[in-house]
Amino acid sequence: MNIDSIHNGIVIDHIDAGRAMQIYSLLHLERLDCPVAIIKNASSSKMGRKDIIKIDADYNVNLDVLGYISPNSTVNIIKNGVRVEKKHIQLPERLVDIVLCKNPRCITTTEQEIHHIFKLTDPEKRIYRCIYCDTKAPEL
């Protein structure tokens, strides 16, 4: 894979420097068998430094993960070597099964089947709280 250009796939750009591995992990990109490139600390005129992830295949990215980890990132859809769409990310209102509640007294620790859901309670400080027990989502 040439990490400078991909033919069909997506490029997640403008990731806050140092966050790419968290996104890789939460998107479970290790499960993909296509080429995936992580570029850390690339220079950026806007951000100083940034991370980039390139995925060389059609992939339906969970935008809520990006919004949670790095809300300023962008998703570029590449078809036949040309960018056909650029998506700007927003802070998601809810996180569903992205992070787990760490409160040992929370019902999510014993009920196996329920979804782990956090809601955005403070957009300025980007604070999410568990809908079941109000515990803050784990620090990034």
Partner 1 sequence: MKHLIDILDLSVGEIDELIELAESIIAHPENYRESCKYKKLATLFFEPSTRTRLSFEAAMLELGGSVLGFSEAQSSSASKGESVSDTVAVVSGYADIIAMRHPKEGAPLVASMHASVPVINAGDGGHNHPTQTLTDLLTIKREKGHFDHLTIGLCGDLKFGRTVHSLIAAMSRYADVRFYLISPEELKLPSYVKTAYIKDKKIPYIQTTSLESCISELDVLYMTRVQRERFFNEEDYIRLKDYFILTPEKMTLAKEDLCVMHPLPRVNEISTAVDSDPRACYFKQARYGKFIRMALILKLLEANA
Asked if 111 interacts with partner 1 (CB under 8 A), we say yes
In angstroms, rounded to a whole number, what is the distance separating the alpha carbons of residues 126 and 68? 8
**Contact stretch for partner 1 (CB under 8 A) within 18-26, 43-51, 88-96, 132-140:** 132-140
Asked if 120 interacts with partner 1 (CB under 8 A), we say no
Asked if 128 interacts with partner 1 (CB under 8 A), we say no
**Contact stretch for partner 1 (CB under 8 A) within 18-26, 60-68, 78-86, 100-108:** 100-108
**Contact stretch for partner 1 (CB under 8 A) within 35-43, 53-61, 74-82, 125-133:** 125-133
Asked if 99 interacts with partner 1 (CB under 8 A), we say no
- Which are the contacts of 90, defined by CB distance < 8 A and separation ≥ 6? 67, 71
- Which are the contacts of 1, defined by CB distance < 8 A and separation ≥ 6? 35, 37, 54, 56
Handedness of CA 41, 120, 25, 135 (dihedral sign): positive
**For partner 1, which is the closer residue by CB, 32 or 127?**
127
